[in-house]
Amino acid sequence: MITKEQLLKFKKSADKVFGDGDYTSATILYFKTWFAVQDFILLNEIGQSPKDHSERFRLLKKEFPDTYKELDKEFSTYRDTYSKILDKETCKRIKEIVENEIIKRSIIKNS
């Protein structure tokens, strides 16, 4: 079960790695944060916590179709982290999506 504290810790780690200029690793950590946000919402909104990416996609498609579409659109970027070096702009795009999702889901307030 994912907690707000855990996902914010993932985000803090991603920000640190981003600041170090390791954009591929930062992107991986931003995706980990994004998945944690989704799992947190699924657990709190529908009482289910996915066991893997397939189940996450299935639940999001059914319960949160807009979130599903955004993740589906970016999932190839996540897969790219296994075999490519990602640039700063790609990482910034994922970072912004994650930050917006954290605010949108009221995990932290926009200040």
CA–chain centroid gap for 29, Å, is 8
Do residues 30 and 95 make contact, with C-beta atoms less than 8 angstroms apart? yes
Looking at residue 106, its pLDDT comes to 81
Please determine, for residue 73, whether its predicted confidence score (pLDDT) is greater than 60. yes
Q: Which pLDDT band holds residue 111 (cuts at 50, 70, 90)? A: very low
Looking at the chain, list the stretches that DSSP marks H as alpha helix, in order from N- to C-terminal side.
4-19, 23-46, 53-63, 65-80, 88-104
Q: Enumerate the domain spans of the chain.
A: 4-104
Q: Domain 4-104 belongs to what topology?
A: Four Helix Bundle (Hemerythrin (Met), subunit A) (1.20.120)
The residue ranking higher by pLDDT, 88 or 1, is 88
Mean pLDDT of 30-53: 94
- The model's pTM is 0.93
Mean residue pLDDT of the chain comes to 94
Please determine, for residue 17, whether its predicted confidence score (pLDDT) is greater than 50. yes
Looking at residue 61, its pLDDT comes to 97
